[in-house]
Chains A and B, each alone.
Chain A
Amino acid sequence: MNILGIGSALPDQVVTNHQLAEILDTSDEWIKTRTGISSRRVLGESGLTRLALTAAQRALADAGIQGSELDLILVATTMGDYVFPSTACLIQKDLGAACPAMDLHAACAGFVYALETADSFIKAGKARHVLVVGSEAITRLANWEDRSTCVLFGDGAAAVVAGPGDALLACHLTAQTDSQVLYMLAEPGNNPFTKKPEEAASGLKMLGQDVYRFAVTRSIQDLETVAEKSGIPLDQMDWVLLHQANQRIVDAVRHRLKLDPARMPGNIHRTGNTSAASVPLLLDELYRAGHLKPGHLIAMSAFGAGLVSGACVLRWGKQPPDKLTPAEDLFPAARQ
């Protein structure tokens, strides 16, 4: 596959740490030092479907192709506006597409999982153009009485149009069953014949230290694996994009792999953890700011509930857009 176009969309509503401190026993300082997050975007009245659609439309426009030319729509999401239909089906008509459409659930690693799926369809000759969207509203799933987790998340969507090519140089996906360290129970509904589970559904739950250890260890292993598979050492990557879950995780991975901070941009300070939207959102911001050049090598790594992870190496093929959107705050040095 090759990335023909990319786009993203964030909700208008900004929620700062100071606003959270008004409703929770927390502070801007506490959140910032533990996560690197200062603010995040939170969906307001318009739903996640609209956000996914906007990101997809921007990616199609960037690719210069019509929705009718799509052969498959894949939306990586934990939960859309509806349990069913899928978000992919909900955006299909407004995109002017008539192709198959489905959601793919691999939590925060969903985009990398979906990218590998798109590549497989294209390689197999079963699709020419695949729309891959990462679209999440984890703020709707969070427990807003749990100050240690609800502050971590933000909402967003980002999309790419994948077409024929050999730009995905390597990809590595993993999964290991673990329903304890990061999970959210489904609502049992009102079926009178089913016993209610012992634990009531009460939003997202996370054992932070365990997730941190998993994320750092797995991300390092995955990045080393895709570097080896692609034959390109990590220090020769132009960009290493890590899932924006927590700045402390990014810093730990960077430190252990001895990577150059200037090649590890981030936007978590103003987006929070946007789950499956995180990596493509960062990729789009880099592209729109004019930092991505044809031939650039990009390693991407994401991890999440499952526990799952995915990493890949991509060779960028597009010229920067005509109209640039500067985003110098993507680089830590500019934020200090």
Chain B
Amino acid sequence: MESIMNKVAQALAERRGTDPSQIKAETKFSDLALDSLDVAELIMDLEDAFNVTIDITKVDGTVGDLVRVIQEAA
């Protein structure tokens, strides 16, 4: 779980030009100024990185949600 969180935080930090340590499970995508298509694009990258299919409808809006869905799909 932790390594998935680290990778997701890293991917988000690269996109937003921020420090990965600033990104927490409770961080909302909207806090990072990501709109719905940014999230879709992020998910496509993470699907490639983790070799999973992510059900986008289960991702409610926080980083922790996304990490949980990837964990379930892995």
Contacts and interface: CB of A to CB of B under 8 A. Distances in A.
B26 interface: no
A213 B35 contact: no
B37 A210 contact: no
A33 B39 CA distance: 14
B44 A217 contact: yes
A22 B57 CA distance: 31
Interface residues of A, number: 13
Contacts of A34: 35, 37
Contacts of A33: 35
Contacts of A212: 37, 40-41
A209 interface: yes
B49 interface: no
A192 to B, nearest CB: 37
A306 B57 CA distance: 20
B27 interface: no
B37 A248 contact: yes
Contact of B44 (A208, A213, A246, A248): A213
A33 B36 CA distance: 12
A252 B56 contact: no
A176 to B, nearest CB: 15
B25 to A, nearest CB: 21
Interface string B37-67: 1011101100000000000110000000000
A309 B43 CA distance: 22
A216 interface: yes
Nearest to A210: B56
A209 B35 contact: no
A246 B35 CA distance: 14
A33 B34 CA distance: 12
Contacts of B57: 207
Given A209-B56, A210-B56, A216 B44 contact: yes
Nearest to A148: B36
Nearest to A211: B40
Contact of A252 (B36, B39, B41, B43): B41
Interface in B1-48: 35-37, 39-41, 43-44
Interface in A212-226: 212-213, 216-217
Interface of A: 33-34, 207-210, 212-213, 216-217, 246, 248, 252
16 contacts: A34-B35, A207-B57, A208-B37, A208-B40, A209-B39, A209-B43, A209-B56, A210-B56, A212-B37, A212-B40, A213-B44, A213-B56, A216-B44, A217-B44, A248-B37, A248-B41
Given A209-B43, A212-B40, 5 more contacts: A207-B57, A209-B37, A209-B39, A209-B56, A212-B37
